[in-house]
Amino acid sequence: MRNNTHQGVKHAKTSNSDSQPTVTDFGTRKILSQNFSHLVTIDRTALTNLGNPTRVNVQLVQDKENKYIKLTPISEKEKGENEN
């Protein structure tokens, strides 16, 4: 187990305008292979900012030249509805 001290999030950008979303850059991540899946680790701060969810909805967004993965926390109420 690593004993790293957290120095804050690098390159955090905040916006005072309602028209622009807040973007937090967690840096470059390595894509790991495990069996037939590929894994990317998520910084603990990202999950804290999402409200420490136990499940998230994962979407690949492709908008013209922009492509990114979107994580949306699933609330306990939504989780119960999706399992039925």
Q: Where do the structural domains in the chain lie, given as residue ranges?
A: 12-83
Question: What is the pLDDT tens value at each position of the chain, 84 positions in all?
Answer: 444 444 455 555 554 556 788 888 888 999 999 999 999 998 888 888 888 888 999 999 999 898 999 989 998 766 566 665
Q: Are 39 and 32 in contact (CB under 8 A)?
A: yes
Does the CA dihedral 83-56-29-45 come out positive or negative? negative
What pTM, to 2 d.p., does this model score?
Answer: 0.58
* Closest to 26 measured CA to CA, from 16, 39, 13: 13
Task: Please give the radius of gyration of the chain, using alpha carbons only, rounded to the nearest integer.
Answer: 16
